[in-house]
Amino acid sequence: MKIGNKGFTLIELLVVIAIIGILATVSLAMLGGARNRGTDAKVKATLANARARAELYNTNNNNYGGVVGGNCNSGMFADTTSGMDQTLEGLPNGATSATCYSTNNAYAISAPLPGAGGTNSWCVDSAGSAKARATPINSTSC
């Protein structure tokens, strides 16, 4: 009985490595899309939470904090009692990535949706709107 060499040839090993590489590339591409959708969902949830915090602020102060143009670091958006200051920090890149406007009677907040390639923003306002926009807000409505 002849005992042969045991093992794999170089060609067999290269074929297996190539197949593993192709599968890894396909799975990473699919996971990237899921990660982007997850980040978009986080932005939407954070802004929904910010809407609740804004109503808390309004209940406590009988207004939405006066005039704040595009700045999310002052007025109602920096309020520690309602927790709004911490809520906006939950956005990707923190509160600096958001655009905020408020008057005594209305507010709007928008933040970029990273999964949309940065071309769309998600906006919530005091009128109850929550929708995607092609550009950031420039007033107190979406």
Q: How far is it, in rounded angstroms, from Cα 31 to Cα 43? A: 19
* pTM (two decimals): 0.75
For residue 111, give the H/E element and its range.
Answer: strand 107-112
Which pLDDT does position 114 carry in this prediction?
A: 81
Q: Are 42 and 92 in contact (CB under 8 A)?
A: yes
Which pLDDT does position 48 carry in this prediction?
A: 92
Which pLDDT does position 140 carry in this prediction?
A: 85
Which pLDDT does position 28 carry in this prediction?
A: 83
Tell me the mean pLDDT per 10 residues along the chain, length 142.
73 94 87 80 91 91 82 84 85 83 91 76 91 85 87
Which pLDDT does position 49 carry in this prediction?
A: 92
Point out which residues pair with 130 in neighbouring strands. 124
Q: Are 89 and 123 in contact (CB under 8 A)?
A: no
- Match 């769309």 to its residue by tokens: 120
**128: how many CB neighbours lie within 10 A of its CB?**
8
* Residues with Cβ within 8 Å of residue 24, at least 6 apart in sequence: none
Q: Decide: helix, strand or coil at residue 69.
A: strand
| Residue 14 amino acid letter | L
pLDDT digit string (tens) for 35-76? 888 888 899 999 999 999 999 999 999 998 876 777 788 888
DSSP per residue, 10-49 = HHHHHHHHHHHHHHHHHHHHHHHHHHHHHHHHHHHHHHHH
| Residue 21 amino acid letter | G
